[in-house]
Structure 1
Amino acid sequence: MEDNMAMRNDSPVTEFILTGLTDWPELQLPFFFLFLGIYVVTVVGNLGMIILISLSSHLHTPMYYFLSSLSFIDLCHSTIITPKMLMKFVSENNIIFYSECITQLYFFLIFAIAECHMLAVMAYDRYVAICSPLLYTITMSHKTCSCLVGWVYILGLVGATAHTSCIFRVIFCKNNLIHHYFCELLSLLKLSCSSTYVNEVVILCFSAFNILIPSITIVSSYICIIISILRIRSPEGRSKAFSTCSSHIAAVALFYVSASVIYLQPSSGNSMDQDKVSSVFYTIFVPMLNPLIYSLRNKDVKVAMRKILERRKFI
C-alpha cells in the first residue's frame, strides 16, 4: 500500500481538483444562484455597454472607446472564471485537466494584466481631457487610441506568456488539490515539488510592473487633474469635471486594492481564505460592477440608452 502511494506521489500530475469557494454543502446551491445572477448581470452589462457605444454616434469618442475595450476585457475575464466555478456548486466532480488548467491560467492572466493597463490608459485620457482640453482631439487621435489599446493587449500577452512558460518548468507530483475555485497562479505553485524560486521572482517583477506602473500613472494623472479642477472658478465646472472622473476612481479602487492584496506581498503572507475573498472581488464582482458604475453615474450613457429604447419603440 505504501509503495503504491509513493509511486502515485512521484508520478506527474495530469489533472487537478479544484476545491471551490466553499466546502459547506448547505452553501453550494445558494452560492450557485448568487454567482449565476452575478454572471448574467456581468454579461448583459458589459455586452450591453459594448453594443450601446457602437450604436450611439455621440459616444464615438476616446473615453467611450476605452470604456468599450474595458467592457470587453471584463466580459472575457469573467467568462474564463465563472462558468467553471458554477459547475463546482452543482457537481461533486470538479476535475480540471492539466492542459485545461494551464489554458485557463493563460487567458485569465492576459485579461487581468490588460485590465491593469486599460485603467491606466483611461486615467491618462481623463488627464488630457481636463488638463489640456484644447489639445484633446489632437493628442487622443484615433491612431493614438488604437495604439494604446494595442499596447494594453500586448502587455497582457507578454505577461501571460512569461508566467505560463515558467509554469511549464514546475514539476507537480505531490498532490493535485488546488485550494481555489480556478487555476490561480500562486495556488498552483503551492503544489509544486520542485523549486519555484524563478516563478516567484517573475511574479514579483511582473506584478510590480503591471500593478505599480499603472498605479503611478493613475495617481500622477489624478494629482494633475485635481490641481486643474481646483483652478476652475465656477462650482458647476468643478462638479462636471469631478463627475467625469468619479466612476473611473471607483473602478480603479475596486480592482487594484483586491489585486494588490494577493500579488504584492510574499506568498507566505497570504492565507487561502484571504486569497479566495480577494480573488472573488477582482474576478467576479469588479467585471459586474464596472458597467453599472459607468452607466449609473454617466449622463451620456443614460441619454444614449434612452435614445436607443425610444428608437426601438418606433420600429
Structure 2
Amino acid sequence: MDPSDEHSKPAVPYAKGWQFRVQAHTAPPPTPVTHGCCHIMKQETQEKTELSQLEWCCRYPPLPGQTGTGSVHLEVLDAFQVRDGCNAQVFTAQVLQASSDIQHLQQGMTVVAKMYDPLYFDDDEGFVNPFRCVDKHYTYEARVYNVLSDMQGWLIPKFYGSYTLDIPVEGLGHREVRLILIEYIPSKSMQQLHPKDFSQSARKQIMKGIVDFETMVYYRDIGLTDQHPRNVLIVQNGNLETDPDSQRKLIFIDFAGALLGRTRDDPMAKKINMFYGQYISPLLRWKQRMMRWEFDDWIDWDWDSWIDAEYAHTAPTITPEMQERFGPPSSCSP
C-alpha cells in the first residue's frame, strides 16, 4: 500500500443502512488550547509520509477517557455531512437497541451522531495534526454540552452522551473513533435559508436571539469561536413557504471550537483580565465587527443604533475597567 496514496483510505463507512454499536465513554478533560496547538510538527510530517493513512490512525488513538458499560446499537439514516475532508462526520441514526444503563435513549428514536474521525479529517493540506484536532473538538464539545445542561432542549439540543466506536482494520486490529449523540430537531439552518424571505422585523428578532445566546454563554465563561449561520437552526412552527415570519425558535449547535475560560490557554492570554463570571454587555462586545460579520446578509439596518436601543438597559453593568478592556461603547468599530 502506497502511504502517499490518499485512495488507500477505505470509503467513509457512515453510509445509509450501516449498523454499528457504540460504547458509553466519558471524555477526558478538555485539551489545552494554545497558539499552534493543532499544527503538525516536522517529525509528524515525516512519519505521515512513511505510513499509510490507516497505519497512522492506528498509531495515534484518541485520548483514553473512561469507557463505560452501556452500549447503543445504531443504524445510519441520512447524512448531514459525511465525506472525506470534514472536521466531523454528522448524520442521523436510528436507535436499534440501547442497554438499560443508557438513559433517555429508546428503541426507534432518531438521533444525530457526530463522529470525530481523524481518518477523514480536513487537515488543511497537511498543515494540522488531525489527532490533536479531533481530541480537542471531542473533549470541548462534550464538556460544553454538560456545562450548558440547563439549556438542553431549549436553546441547544438534548445531549445523549459521549461514546466510542471500534472500527476493524484488516491486519492492524481496530481503530477508535469518539462521538456524541444529540437530539434530532427537524429544522433548517440560517445558511439554508434566504434572508430576503424574512421581514426586517423577523430578522431583527433572529439576530437578537443570537446576541442574547452568545452573551449568556459568555457569561458562563465560554467563548464561541464559530458563530456562523450554519450553526443556528430555525425551528418554524408555521409554513416557511407561505409565512416565513410565523412563530419560530432558535437552536444553537456545534461547540467543538469553543474556548473554556473565554480565551486560549497561552500564558500571555491568561494574564489579560477577562472578567470571569461577570456579565459583559452587548453594548461593548457586539459592536465589534468580528462578532457579527458572518451574519451580514441578514442585517440591513444601522446595527450600532439598534444595539444601543436593544441593550440600553445593560449600560449600568459596564465598569470603567470593562470599557478599558473591550473598548468604550462609543468607540467600538462599525
**TM-score, normalising length: structure 2:** 0.24
Higher relative contact order (CA 8 A, sep 6+): 1
More strand by share: 2
TM-score scaled by structure 1?
Answer: 0.25
Normalized per residue, the structure richer in helix is: 1
